[in-house]
Amino acid sequence: MKENVFDVLMFLFDNYLEDDYEITTDQNRLKDQLADAGFGNNQIDKAFDWLEGLAIRNDVTQEEKLSGTGINRIFNDMEMSRLGTECRGFITFMEQAGVLDMHDRELVIDRVMALESEEIDLYQLKWVMLMVLLNQPGKEAAFSWMEGMVMDQVETSLH
C-alpha cells in the first residue's frame, strides 16, 4: 500500500489534473480508482484536502492582490526546518526568473508546508510548483517552462 499524500497527488496529476479532469464531479469514483491503485483512504482524503486547500488559498491570495517585486521573503522557523537551503534558494530563483510571482510563491510555500513530509526535497518542491502553476490562470508559459524542467529531471533520473 502506498502511504504518502505526495504519491497520491503525483498519481492525480499524472492521470487527471493535467488533462483538466473535473475532480469535484466524480470524487467518489476517483477515490475508488485511487483505492484500486493501492492508496489508503486516509491518504486519499488528505490529498483531496490538499487540493481543496490549494483552491481556497488561491482564492484568498487573489483577493489580497499581492503584487510588486523586490520584496525578500523571510522564512519562519518551521519553513526553514522543512525547506532546506536548496529549496529556499530555488523558490527565490524561480521568483527572480519571473516564473513565480509573490502570489504563486506564497501558494507554493503554503502547499509545501501542507504536505506531511518532515523535510521537503527539491523534487517534491518542483512538483508542487508545477501543480500550483497548473491552477493559475494566465500562467501557461510558466507552467510549460516548469513542466519541461521537471520532466527533464524525471527522464534523467530514469536513465
Rounded Cα distance, 96 and 82, in Å: 22
Which tens digits make up the pLDDT trace of 94-141? 999 889 988 899 999 999 999 988 889 999 999 999 989 887 878 888
What is the structure's pLDDT at 20?
54
Give mean pLDDT, residues 57-79. Answer: 69
Burial of 40 (0-12, 13-18, 19+ CB in 10 A): middle
Per-residue pLDDT, averaged over 74-103, amounts to 93
Residue 159 — pLDDT band, cuts 50, 70, 90? Answer: very low
User: H/E/C letters for each residue in the chain?
Assistant: CECCHHHHHHHHHHHCHHHCCCCCCCHHHHHHHHHHCCECHHHHHHHHHHHHHHHHHHHHHHHHCCCCCCCCCCCCHHHHHHECHHHHHHHHHHHHCCCCCHHHHHHHHHHHHHCCCCCECHHHHHHHHHHHHHCCCCCHHHHHHHHHHHHHHHHHHHC
The distance in angstroms from the start CA to the end CA of the chain is 26
The residue range of the domain holding 125 is 5-158
| Average pLDDT value for the chain | 82
pTM of the model: 0.80
Domain count within the chain:
1
pLDDT for residue 109: 95
